[in-house]
């Protein structure tokens, strides 16, 4: 909200130091986001009358002009051509500093000295016109030497751009902000509006409320003798400073009062309101209205928005025809025009949630709806109406009040809040005495009764944000703390007996990342929301999790895989010559609940009464290995490091079907041997995918691919880890020999290795170190070579021991059909 | 005329057989030349059109055109099929039993790896809070409206929902499933769980990815990371909140950086505050980054609103608590002086390597 300081000063004495004011506002939660000086640089500008104009020899774009600016004639060199002798124009004399720190000094042009500058509207910061001088002839009472600001009715001011707390209805008004300041500075808050004229007006049937649940109060005032014209300069200037465009004196008065007091009002042209009466009711389904912006709005039916009741509050005329969308925007039919002479002024309290729902559904947020949906001050209605009349009377002095009416509906009712010193101390951690609390609350309009050691607090109608009960008590304590100043409150570092810690899962996540970094990989951050086409690369036959309202169509589906995102990140780097890289990401992927046998279920919907099936989220580490020489083999070797560092007890490679987007014949799943739990996938990006994503020069590259399931890794029940027991190696010499075993292709290396490792007590280790395939071997077999190391904790091995071990090893191999080559 | 039509029909029949019989892409290319080339039956038929009457030419021309289309599509389908066969054969020829890979003989390149800047920052923040006695909790990225909003005292259609531009997920009733707009729903999960297990108090921080339907710019990303803290215990006050914020600020940003609170509004806390810290660029002297105030805004905090306790079933007369939250990305941005946040998602390896 843009607030001129001079406006605040009408309610409260403002400190002369602007910084002090800004700091106080910030500390009150009325954050000042900008400070703008208005009229700065115009104070020295005066009205000058053009007396003589001469050409300058050798120059056709500038002229010598003699002007009268209220003293001796002045010589000015001027490049504008839009004036003639007798015109009144603005003069910035030598020494003036125009907006934008533009200092005026004596200047010599073509040998002629200029003692000042005649100005355009743009040079003065008044408008955007730079085509010629700002001509002032039409201003009444224009005389040479008059200060420009007094001629234009401008006063120098400072405009504060204030961002109030979103919930506070009162802070969206000059009055509300001023009241906070008065309380903070312990100054008098003066708000004296004499409503005698209004209250003495006769009661007449001007309004009625058909649906009391949507309208708590409807005040209508009938005015006559209205002359529609432009507003006085200082009113127009205030509106402009506050960011609103002046329209005419009636609309301006309405806007002025809204900015000042926070209550939107609506003036109707009485002659275009059938029966000269206003009514409030809910719209019937299918009714419509053309709002002031020319758009037809269909009313009375709920939209798709959650919690939308479809109830719209409308203003109707005496024949029940809708003429306005209450609290949001009026209709065009009864708009104030130059011909208007009679005005019906509506000052109402509408149900905040009704306004909020309507404004959200039709996507129309106005200054009025913004205030109504927070709750306006119903107790201020008469002052608001009177203020409107007073402001309008400045430019339309013959207006008369011909009637008024007050209709009542349902207003919010709140129980008072009880508060004692303990309540305050329990929240703030410091005692604030009740007398101080009382002073602060009373200052901002709360009604406080101090009874014994308790305060009975009633929030004013301007503070509908203050609730009842425990929540209300918290609201009141916040007000006390805010006005007292948060910065004055003490700090304490709490302690508790429970130690801080990471969960197993979080430690495992960190370990996965640290292993990846140790392997020389770089961690990327790729989008969680992906395009249809990228999604289809890895998950064509699955149901995607679709975003209803994506920002761009390329980010419409929640990812189910990170492979394409990482491959794209690589491709972009490769195109810039930085493709020698392995990228990884630890992140969340999700599957549609329709694909889970038992999807996650949790409460949702209005009141949380629905049980919703939700996507299953998994956290995984995915890596793409894109360096020269990378392939499924480097992915396997990398996995080996993961497996060892994680201390996985016993895993095996299972061929399985490669997921879409993976190379179909260079793929394996890693599973826990005993539980069968899937821990990781290893392989390569499918060559077609590589070709699709990267530039020609990189097509044909092998891209190693690894995916590790954090959820599996961290679940010690399904993925077993080595226990803490450590076998200390034997101090006796060990014997080692190689075994090359012709093994059927159907028998996995893991399986054979496991048999060998458990073949005999003396086996210390079995290390796989070579594979050989060739026509020399029987069909359907390959030769696997292991180094076997035998040792004993009790003695040096004898030849007999070694032979015994070897025999056992070969026997174990034979159980899976493997034999010595 | 009718003989032309007949011969075209014969041509299609024989072409169909020939295409079906072709075994390789090379064979198919030869066949393609025979069927569609300059000396093909089709080409000859095309030429013969010139000798027909305009009437005849019209219908015969259509037949020729149709035949060409049939042949082209036959060839294209077969080409796709043969390419698929060729690719499958190639992939089959490359087959590798990963179990047979000899790890000891694979040479991995030596490079310095690096965690992502967000992860690095998150870990550093977690460590500070763990040191201060907090546990770390995770929560889902896809939430229901109840967890993300209503339980946090933001009822449906309430104007406060406008504070968060939300991505909704096409599941259930409209606007009931969404991408979490903040980490606060994790608070609700934690409190409900604590009530269920009778395991209060709670002292936890909750880091994670969040989403807002905001067009990315230098200071905002549509996806971002937040860390949130929640303490629910007996006798917890605003003074404890301010103390924790101050302790964290000095611990993470350094001893010459301090914090201050100013009033703010969040539906889920009351009293609420925004917390600012000494500008890390100018150390409080005032500069462009802090708009010459010496302070920069870091996050929001406050005492847990009684309405939130009511939603999760915690006795607000017995327990009180505070919550705070701020951007992990923003901390990273400030600490590493990254002018444009979008660098975080561009994944330029020259940038990624800086955090080794």
Name every residue whose Cβ is closer than 8 Å to that of residue B156 and which is 6 or more positions away in sequence. A305, A306, A307, A308, A606, B145, B149, B150, B175
Do B318 and B186 lie in one domain? The reply is yes
Identify the sign of the CA torsion B30, B34, B39, B43: negative
Q: Are residues B335 and B242 in the same domain?
A: yes
Could A636 and B101 be called an inter-chain contact, meaning their C-beta atoms sit closer than 8 Å?
yes
Phi, psi dihedrals of residue A761, rounded to the nearest 5°: -60, -25
Write out pLDDT tens, residues B299-345: 999 999 999 999 999 999 999 999 999 999 999 988 888 888 888 88
Is the minimum CB–CB distance between B247 and chain A shorter than 8 Å?
yes
Which of B104, B113, B223 has the CB atom closest to A521's CB atom? B113
A251-299, pLDDT tens digit by residue? 999 999 999 999 999 999 999 999 999 999 999 999 999 998 889 999 9
Looking at the structure, tell me whether residues B209 and B348 fall in a common domain: yes
Whether the pLDDT of residue A765 is over 70: the answer is yes
Look up the CATH number of the domain holding residue B234.
3.30.930.10
Q: Residue A151: which residues within 8 A CB-CB, separation 6 or more?
A: A47, A136, A139, A141, A142
In a domain, B6, yes or no: yes
Number of inter-chain CB pairs under 8 A, A vs B: 386
Contacts of A501 in chain B (CB under 8 A): 130, 135-136
Q: Tell me what pLDDT residue A50 has.
A: 94
Mean pLDDT computed over A17-25: 94
Q: pLDDT tier at A101 (50, 70, 90 boundaries)? A: confident
C-alpha–C-alpha distance, residues B61 and B297, integer Å: 76
Instruction: Round the average pLDDT of chain B to a whole number and report it.
Output: 91
What number is the average pLDDT over the span A70-86? Answer: 92
Of B214, B243, B265, the CB nearest to A166: B265
Provide the pLDDT for residue B55.
82
CA distance A5 to A17: 12
Residue B280, pLDDT above cutoff 90: no
d(CA A619, CA A601): 18
Q: How many residues does chain A have?
A: 821
Of the pLDDT bands very low, low, confident and very high (cuts 50, 70, 90), residue B2 is low
Is 60 exceeded by the pLDDT of residue B203? Answer: yes
Do B201 and B271 belong to one domain? yes
Q: Is residue B45 part of a domain?
A: yes
Tell me what percent of the residues of chain A surpass a pLDDT of 70.
100
User: In the listed set B34, B61, B94, which residue is the last one of a domain according to the structure?
Assistant: B94
Please check whether residue A103 is in contact with residue A179, taking contact to mean a CB–CB distance below 8 angstroms: no
Residue B195: left if φ>0, alpha if ψ -120 to 50, beta else—which one? alpha
The verdict on B185 and B265 lying in the same domain is: yes
Is residue B90 domain-shared with residue B123, that is, in the same domain? no
Mark yes or no for CB contact A487/B100 under 8 Å.
no
| Torsion (CA) B252, B256, B259, B260 in degrees, nearest 10 | 180
Per-residue model confidence (pLDDT) at position B356: 65
- Residues B278, B324: one domain? yes
State ipTM. 0.89
CB A499 to CB B94 under 8 A?
Answer: no
Q: Region B225-251: what's the mean pLDDT?
A: 96
CA terminus-to-terminus distance, chain A? 88
Domain extent, residue B272, equals 117-355
Contact between chains at B167 and A549 (C-beta distance less than 8 A): yes
Is B130 within 8 Å of A501 when comparing Cβ atoms?
A: yes
Nearest CA in chain B to A552: B215
Instruction: Let me know whether B178 and B252 are in one domain.
Output: yes
CA distance A507 to chain B (A): 10
* Mean pLDDT confidence for B140-157: 95
Query: Cβ–Cβ of B126/A527 closer than 8 Å?
Result: no
H or E segment at B44?
helix B41-48
| CA–CA min distance A87, chain B (Å) | 44
B17 Cβ under 8 Å from any chain A Cβ: no
Show residues of chain B in contact with A683, CB under 8 Å: 98
Which of B142, B275, B315, B345 to probe the A interface (max A CBs under 10 A)? B142
Query: What pLDDT is recorded for position A131?
Result: 86
Chain B CB contacts of A616 below 8 Å: none
pLDDT the model gives residue B284: 87
Please check whether residue B110 lies inside any domain of the structure: no
Tokens 């034997």 — which residue?
A730
Residue where a domain stops, chosen among B47, B62, B94:
B94
Which of B159, B166, B323 is the best residue to mutate to test the A interface, defined by the most A CB atoms within 10 Å of its own CB? Answer: B159
Task: Identify whether residues B36 and B133 lie together within a single domain.
Answer: no
Q: How high is the mean pLDDT of chain A? A: 94
Q: State the pLDDT at residue A648.
A: 94
B145 touching A, CB under 8 A?
A: yes
pLDDT at B1 over 60: no
Asked if A374 and B168 come within 8 Å (Cβ–Cβ), the reply is no
Does residue B287 share a domain with residue B138?
Answer: yes
**Residue B239: inside a domain, yes or no?**
yes
Whole-Å CA distances, A510 to A159, A235, A425, B72, B332: 51, 63, 41, 57, 18
- Contact list in A for residue B338 (CB cut-off 8 A) is none
Taking 80 as the threshold, does the pLDDT of residue A581 lie above it? yes
Q: Is residue B108 part of a domain?
A: no
Which of B46, B61, B94 is at the close of a domain? B94
**Are B165 and B35 in a shared domain?**
no
* B35 found inside a domain: yes
- pLDDT score for A304: 84
Residue A408 — pLDDT band, cuts 50, 70, 90? very high
Q: Is the pTM of this model over 0.90?
A: no
Confidence at A140, pLDDT banded by 50, 70, 90: confident
Q: Is residue B100 part of a domain?
A: no
Residues A345-362: what's their mean pLDDT? 95
- Please tell me the predicted confidence (pLDDT) of residue A98: 87
Residue A128, pLDDT > 90, answer no
Percent of chain A with pLDDT over 90: 84
CA dihedral over A430, A434, A438, A439, signed as positive or negative: negative
| Residue whose C-alpha is closest to residue A437's, from A452, A414, A419, A451 | A419
> What total number of domains does chain B contain?
2
Q: Give a yes or no: residue B33 inside a domain.
A: yes
Shared-domain flag, residues B160 and B64: no
Residue B5 has pLDDT above 80, yes or no: no
Which residue of A356, A486, A520 is in closest CB contact with B112?
Answer: A520
Task: Determine the pLDDT at residue A300.
Answer: 92
């Amino acid at each position: 909200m843009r607030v001129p300081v001079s406006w605040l000063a009408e309610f409260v004495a403002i400190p002369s130091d602007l910084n002090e004011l800004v700091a106080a506002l910030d500390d009150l939660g009325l954050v000042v986001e900008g400070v703008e000086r208005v009229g700065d640089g115009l104070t020295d500008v005066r009205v000058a009358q053009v007396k003589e104009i001469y050409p300058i020899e050798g120059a056709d774009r500038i002229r010598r002009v003699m002007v009268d600016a209220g003293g001796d004639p002045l010589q000015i060199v001027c490049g504008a051509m839009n004036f003639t002798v007798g015109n009144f124009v603005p003069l910035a004399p030598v020494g003036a500093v125009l907006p934008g720190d533009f200092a005026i000094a004596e200047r010599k042009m073509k040998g002629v000295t200029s003692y000042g500058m005649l100005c355009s509207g743009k040079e003065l910061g008044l408008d955007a016109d730079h085509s010629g001088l700002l001509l002032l002839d039409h201003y009444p009472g224009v005389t040479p030497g008059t200060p420009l600001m007094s001629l234009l009715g401008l006063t120098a001011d400072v405009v504060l751009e204030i961002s109030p707390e979103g919930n506070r209805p009162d802070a969206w008004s000059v009055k509300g902000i001023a009241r906070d300041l008065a309380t903070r500075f312990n100054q008098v808050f003066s708000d004296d509006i004499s409503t005698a004229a209004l209250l003495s007006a006769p009661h007449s049937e001007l309004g009625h409320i058909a649906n009391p649940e949507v309208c708590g109060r409807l005040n209508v005032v009938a005015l006559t003798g209205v002359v529609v014209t432009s507003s006085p300069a200082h009113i127009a200037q205030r509106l402009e400073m506050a960011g609103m465009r002046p329209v005419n004196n009636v609309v301006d008065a309405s806007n002025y009062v809204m900015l000042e007091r926070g209550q939107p009002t609506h003036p109707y042209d009485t002659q275009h309101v059938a029966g000269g009466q206003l009514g409030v009711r809910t719209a019937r389904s299918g009714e419509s209205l053309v709002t002031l912006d020319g758009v037809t709005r269909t009313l009375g039916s709920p939209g798709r928005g959650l919690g939308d009741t479809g109830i719209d509050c409308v203003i109707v005329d005496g024949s029940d025809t809708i003429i306005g969308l209450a609290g949001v925007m009026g209709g065009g039919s009864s708009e104030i025009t130059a011909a208007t002479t009679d005005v019906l002024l509506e000052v109402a309290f509408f149900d905040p949630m009704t306004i909020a729902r309507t404004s959200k559904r039709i996507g129309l947020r106005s200054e009025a709806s913004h205030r109504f949906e927070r709750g306006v001050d119903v107790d201020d209605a008469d002052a608001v109406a009177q203020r409107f009349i007073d402001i309008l009377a400045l430019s339309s002095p013959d207006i008369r009040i011909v009637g008024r009416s007050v209709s009542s509906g349902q207003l919010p009712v709140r129980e008072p809040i009880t508060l004692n010193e303990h309540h305050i101390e329990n929240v703030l951690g410091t005692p604030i005495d009740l007398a101080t609390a009382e002073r602060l609350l009373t200052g901002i309009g709360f009604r406080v009764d101090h009874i014994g050691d308790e305060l009975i607090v009633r929030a004013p109608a301007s503070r509908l944000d203050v609730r009842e009960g425990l929540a209300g008590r918290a609201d009141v304590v916040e007000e006390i703390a805010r006005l007292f100043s948060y910065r004055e409150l003490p700090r304490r570092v709490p302690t508790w007996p429970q130690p801080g810690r990471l969960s197993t899962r979080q430690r495992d996540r960190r370990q996965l990342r640290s292993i990846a970094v140790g392997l020389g990989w770089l961690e990327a951050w790729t989008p969680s929301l992906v395009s249809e086409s990228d999604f289809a690369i890895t998950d064509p036959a699955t149901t995607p999790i679709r975003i209803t309202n994506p920002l761009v169509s390329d980010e419409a589906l929640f990812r189910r895989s990170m492979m394409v995102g990482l491959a794209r990140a690589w491709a972009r780097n490769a195109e810039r010559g930085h493709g020698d890289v392995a990228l990884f990401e630890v992140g969340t992927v999700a599957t549609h609940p329709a694909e889970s046998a038992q999807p996650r279920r949790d409460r949702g919907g209005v009141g949380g009464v629905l049980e919703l099936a939700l996507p299953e989220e998994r956290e995984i580490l995915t890596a793409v290995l894109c360096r020269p020489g990378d392939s499924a083999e480097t992915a396997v070797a990398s996995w080996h490091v993961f497996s060892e560092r994680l201390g996985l007890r016993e895993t095996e490679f299972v061929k399985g079907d490669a997921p879409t987007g993976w190379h179909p014949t260079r793929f394996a799943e890693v599973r826990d041997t005993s539980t069968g739990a899937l821990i990781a996938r290893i392989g390569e990006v499918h060559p077609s995918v590589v070709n699709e994503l990267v530039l020609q020069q990189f097509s044909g590259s092998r891209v190693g691919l690894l995916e590790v399931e954090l959820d599996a890794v961290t679940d010690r029940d399904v993925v077993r880890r080595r226990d803490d027991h450590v076998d200390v190696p034997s101090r006796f010499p060990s014997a080692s020999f190689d075994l090359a075993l012709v093994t059927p292709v159907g028998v996995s290396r893991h399986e054979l290795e496991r048999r060998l490792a458990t073949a005999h007590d003396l086996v210390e280790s079995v290390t796989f170190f070579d594979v050989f395939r060739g026509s020399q071997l029987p069909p359907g077999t390959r030769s696997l070579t292991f180094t076997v190391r035998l040792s004993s904790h009790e003695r040096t091995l004898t030849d007999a021991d070694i032979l015994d071990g070897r025999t056992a090893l070969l026997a174990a191999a034979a159980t899976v059909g493997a034999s010595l080559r | 005329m009718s003989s032309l039509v007949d011969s075209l029909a014969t041509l299609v029949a024989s072409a169909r057989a020939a295409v079906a019989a072709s075994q390789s892409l090379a064979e198919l290319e030869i066949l393609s030349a025979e069927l569609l080339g300059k000396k093909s039956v089709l080409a000859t038929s095309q030429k013969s059109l010139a000798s027909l009457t305009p009437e005849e030419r019209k219908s015969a021309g259509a037949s020729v055109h149709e035949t060409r289309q049939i042949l082209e599509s036959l060839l294209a389908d077969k080409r796709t099929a043969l390419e698929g066969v060729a690719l499958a054969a190639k992939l089959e020829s490359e087959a590798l039993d990963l179990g047979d890979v000899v790890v000891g003989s694979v040479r991995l390149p030596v490079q310095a790896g690096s965690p992502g800047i967000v992860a690095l920052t998150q870990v550093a923040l977690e460590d500070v809070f763990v040191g201060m006695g907090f546990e770390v909790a995770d929560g889902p990225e896809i939430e229901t409206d109840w967890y993300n909003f209503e339980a946090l005292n933001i009822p449906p259609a309430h104007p406060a929902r406008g504070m968060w531009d939300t991505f909704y997920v096409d599941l259930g009733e409209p606007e009931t499933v969404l991408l979490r707009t903040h980490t606060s729903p994790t608070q609700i999960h934690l409190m409900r769980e604590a009530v269920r297990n009778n395991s209060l108090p709670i002292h936890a921080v909750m880091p994670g990815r969040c989403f807002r339907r905001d067009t990315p710019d230098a200071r905002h990303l549509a996806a971002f990371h937040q860390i949130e803290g929640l303490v629910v215990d007996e006798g917890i006050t605003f003074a404890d909140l301010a103390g924790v914020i101050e302790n964290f600020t000095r611990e993470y940003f350094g001893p010459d950086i301090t914090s201050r609170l100013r009033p703010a509004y969040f539906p889920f806390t009351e009293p609420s505050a925004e917390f600012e810290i000494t500008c890390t660029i100018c150390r409080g002297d005032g500069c462009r980054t802090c708009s010459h105030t010496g302070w920069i805004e870091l996050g929001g905090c406050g005492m847990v609103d009684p309405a939130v306790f009511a939603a999760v079933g915690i006795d607000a007369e017995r327990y009180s608590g505070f919550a705070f939250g701020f951007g992990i990305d923003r901390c990273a941005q400030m600490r590493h002086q990254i002018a444009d946040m979008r660098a975080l998602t561009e994944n330029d390896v020259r940038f990624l390597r800086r955090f080794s």
